[in-house]
């Protein structure tokens, strides 16, 4: 399981020292790793990409005509993304004496449909195809820049960063979300158990055993831990009232099992072409890269290297990451574009892999 770190940012409920301690811990560990692996970091990333089963095109060139309109959903998500970046930026600069953050990614407020957007779009494509995708925030050691006078257009300055952050935002409260999902899972398990008892402890049990013995055996042997593994084809019996009742219960059981199969983990979502563009930037600047997902009450971080290691092992699919073939271009390398749909493969990486809380 990859080592990731969680940063709490609940300023009202937590003492100020707790925020400082959490952020200093993560920063010091990140920088410690940086010192050990910086010289080989970009080579490690490139090797992992080459080992990936997804045939990632590291030479990808972004092209296309600029969109003409930006929908309200996109604009809302863009504002939320800007908010998340500010949360991270201010948290680091307000609570760390040894490190400071610099906003590095594109912060242009221009959107599709605005005057000059076509030129902006063309220039941004050129940048992606030349240096790759800029991370949103760079973190530097205060000792390297005592006056914090970093010139983000100076390659030598950028290469001195100890951490690069890709900041994502999610409209969830982790604690409430987790509570809701746990309750949903428990309710589904309890309903499965109740249906099981209702069938087995009545004449419906013998009826099911006679009509579909394999389904009867599945239900008889099922436990709270194994209901999720049940799979059967729903019969459509209705010739008698008992068969109708049995069919109804089996349908309810199947629906409850479907609930147990639902993915309930919140995720960090890099797209395949983003991986190639992030790698392009890493190959130029050799700075350790992280994805940071900001929720309304917590933030979760996972390194780009950990993501690549996860997806390189197909045994992790369905547990620690999932694949999805249709996504919205509303963040990441497409910040500032409108919310048109792209048919590109996306990777959903489980946010709850952190061993820290």
Cβ(46)–Cβ(279) below 8 Å: yes
The answer to whether residues 225 and 325 belong to one domain is no
> What is the spatial distance between Cα 208 and Cα 336, in angstroms, rounded to a whole number?
58
Cβ(332)–Cβ(271) below 8 Å: yes
pLDDT greater at residue 173 or residue 288 = 288
What tens digit of pLDDT does each residue of 192-231 get? 999 999 999 999 999 999 999 999 999 999 988 888 888 8
> What is the spatial distance between Cα 117 and Cα 68, in angstroms, rounded to a whole number?
9
The answer to whether residues 192 and 126 belong to one domain is no
User: Of 224, 246, 261, which marks where a domain is finished?
Assistant: 261
> What is the spatial distance between Cα 56 and Cα 214, in angstroms, rounded to a whole number?
44
The answer on pLDDT for 7 being more than 70 is no
CB within 8 Å of 211: residues ≥ 6 apart: 235, 237, 243, 246
CATH number for the domain harbouring residue 346: 3.40.1350.10
What tens digit of pLDDT does each residue of 304-346 get? 998 888 777 666 555 544 443 333 333 333 333 333 333 333 4
User: Of 225, 242, 261, which marks where a domain is finished?
Assistant: 261
Q: How many CA atoms lie within 13 A of 50 on its CB side?
A: 6
The answer to whether residues 215 and 320 belong to one domain is no
Number of folded domains in the chain?
2
Cα 225 to chain centroid, rounded: 27
Can you give the length of the chain in residues?
357
Q: Which pLDDT band holds residue 8 (cuts at 50, 70, 90)?
A: very low
pLDDT greater at residue 82 or residue 26 = 82
The answer to whether residues 217 and 86 belong to one domain is no
- The tokens describing 278, both together, are 């992030």
The answer to whether residues 13 and 104 belong to one domain is yes
- The tokens describing 192, both together, are 């499965």
Region of poorest pLDDT, from 33-42, 128-137, 267-276, 278-287: 33-42
The answer to whether residues 192 and 140 belong to one domain is no
φ, ψ for residue 184, nearest 5 deg: -65, -45
Whether pTM exceeds 0.85: no
Pick from 180-184, 201-205, 271-275 the range whose average pLDDT is largest: 201-205
* pLDDT computed for residue 4 by the predictor: 38
φ, ψ for residue 167, nearest 5 deg: -100, 130
The answer to whether residues 162 and 81 belong to one domain is yes
The closest alpha carbon to 344, from 355, 354, 356, 334, belongs to: 334
Q: Which pLDDT band holds residue 255 (cuts at 50, 70, 90)?
A: very high
The answer to whether residues 114 and 18 belong to one domain is yes
Q: Directed axis angle between helix 174-200 and helix 241-261, to 10°? A: 150
- The tokens describing 224, both together, are 């709270």
Q: What is the mean pLDDT of residues 6-33?
A: 49
φ, ψ for residue 250, nearest 5 deg: -65, -35
The closest alpha carbon to 167, from 128, 137, 127, belongs to: 137
The secondary element (H helix, E strand) that includes residue 137 is strand 137-141
Give the rounded percent of residues in the chain with a pLDDT score beyond 70: 68
- The tokens describing 287, both together, are 């700075």
> What is the spatial distance between Cα 163 and Cα 160, in angstroms, rounded to a whole number?
9
The answer to whether residues 257 and 270 belong to one domain is no
* pLDDT computed for residue 158 by the predictor: 97
The answer to whether residues 49 and 141 belong to one domain is yes
Q: What is the DSSP string of 277-303?
A: HHHHHHHHH---EEEEEE-SSEEEEEE
Mean pLDDT of the chain: 76
**End-to-end Cα, the chain, rounded Å:** 15
Q: Which pLDDT band holds residue 297 (cuts at 50, 70, 90)?
A: confident
Burial of 215 (0-12, 13-18, 19+ CB in 10 A): buried
Provide the edge-to-edge strand list for the sheet that holds 289-294. 5-8, 298-303, 289-294, 163-169, 137-141, 99-103
The answer to whether residues 18 and 166 belong to one domain is yes
Quote the domain boundaries for residue 151. 5-172+266-353
- The tokens describing 69, both together, are 């309109």
User: Of 243, 261, 279, which marks where a domain is finished?
Assistant: 261
Q: Where are the beta strands (DSSP E) in 155-294?
A: 163-169, 267-268, 289-294
The answer to whether residues 229 and 283 belong to one domain is no
């Amino acid at each position: 399981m990859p080592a990731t770190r969680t940063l709490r940012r609940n300023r009202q409920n937590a003492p100020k020292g707790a925020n400082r301690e959490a952020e200093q811990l993560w920063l010091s560990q990140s920088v410690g790793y940086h010192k050990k692996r910086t010289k080989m970091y970009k080579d490690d990333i490139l090797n992992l990409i080459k080992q990936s089963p997804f045939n990632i095109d590291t030479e990808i060139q972004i092209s296309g005509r600029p969109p003409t309109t930006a929908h309200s959903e996109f604009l809302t998500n863009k504002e939320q993304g800007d908010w998340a970046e500010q949360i991270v930026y201010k948290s680091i600069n307000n609570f760390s004496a040894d490190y400071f953050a610099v906003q590095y990614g594109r912060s242009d407020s221009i959107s599709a449909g605005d005057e000059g957007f076509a030129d902006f779009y063309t220039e941004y494509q050129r940048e992606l195809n030349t240096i790759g995708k800029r991370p949103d925030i760079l973190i530097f050691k205060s000792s390297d820049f005592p006056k914090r006078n970093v010139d983000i257009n100076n390659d030598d300055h950028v290469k001195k960063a100890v951490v690069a952050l890709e900041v994502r935002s999610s409209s969830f409260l982790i604690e409430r979300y987790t509570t809701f999902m746990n309750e949903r899972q428990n309710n589904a398990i309890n309903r499965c158990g109740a249906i099981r008892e209702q069938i087995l402890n009545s004449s419906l049990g013998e009826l099911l055993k006679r009509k579909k013995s394999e389904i009867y055996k599945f239900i008889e042997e099922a436990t709270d831990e194994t209901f999720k593994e049940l799979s059967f084809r729903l019969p459509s019996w209705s010739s008698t009232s008992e068969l109708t009742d049995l069919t109804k219960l089996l349908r309810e059981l199947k629906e409850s099992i479907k609930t147990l199969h639902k993915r309930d983990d919140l995720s960090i979502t890099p797209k395949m072409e983003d991986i190639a563009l992030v790698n392009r930037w890493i190959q130029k600047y050799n700075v350790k890269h992280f994805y940071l997902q900001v929720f309304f009450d917590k933030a979760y971080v996972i390194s780009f290297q950990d993501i690549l290691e996860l997806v390189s092992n197909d045994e992790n699919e369905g547990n620690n990451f999932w694949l999805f073939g249709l996504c919205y271009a509303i963040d990441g390398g497409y910040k500032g574009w409108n919310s048109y749909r792209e048919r590109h493969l996306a990777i959903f990486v489980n946010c709850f892999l952190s061993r820290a809380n």
